[in-house]
Chains A and B, each alone.
Chain A
Amino acid sequence: NAGVMQNPRHLVRRRGQEARLRCSPMKGHSHVYWYRQLPEEGLKFMVYLQKENIIDESGMPKERFSAEFPKEGPSILRIQQVVRGDSAAYFCASSLRDGSYEQYFGPGTRLTVT
């Protein structure tokens, strides 16, 4: 019974490159959330998606960041032209229904921008 899968677990990018983070939700879950955790800080909400729809992107930076959850395949968080300040752990979570239900988290992707 696989949990939330994220890959890669660690990603190193140079400034200006693109980062693509993937998330496969738990089986049967169609709600996906992305959070960012800066060093020594709590998690900050970025975006909430259902299949083919962005429900709430109030936490996404206005530029360079985008997310999708296609009908087939994993959810993707894409960061274009990465900067050092993007270095963080990015966690994906999924839930059976909306955010009133418990969200189960993946192991995270640790992005380092050099």
Chain B
Amino acid sequence: AQKVTQAQTEISVVEKEDVTLDCVYETRDTTYYLFWYKQPPSGELVFLIRRNSFDEQNEISGRYSWNFQKSTSSFNFTITASQVVDSAVYFCALSEADTGTASKLTFGTGTRLQVTL
């Protein structure tokens, strides 16, 4: 069965620091998809990135970057030069697709990031 582990419950940093949020996943499927979502204090979920299991290229989007390593089953998320607006709960999620149809997202328990001045 699939599982996503976000071992860091809470992280607190000072603005402009870099911070990495860890995500480790478990799956028996060879085809799967990984996602990151942001949940700010207002409560909605904001899609950040989707990565499929065959694409291990790292991705950078502005101050955000993602490191996907199949060898360690990890999909870590780094925020460079953090800002107060980055304060939120961040969720990593997994969708399995070996049956040909992916459906549900399995979420980690989330990491609460607090960025202070």
Contact = CB atoms under 8 A, between A and B. Distances in A.
A100 B45 contact: no
Contacts of B47: 102-105
A65 interface: no
A12 interface: no
A59 B102 CA distance: 15
Given A89-B43, A101-B50, A103-B47, A55 B37 contact: no
A96 to B, nearest CB: 12
Contacts of A41: 109
A69 interface: no
Contact of B45 (A56, A98, A105): A105
Contact of B103 (A91, A99, A108): A99
Contacts of B95: 99-100
Interface string B13-40: 0000000000000000000010101000
15 contacts: A33-B103, A33-B104, A41-B109, A44-B107, A58-B104, A59-B104, A93-B105, A100-B52, A100-B95, A102-B47, A103-B47, A105-B37, A105-B47, A107-B44, A110-B43
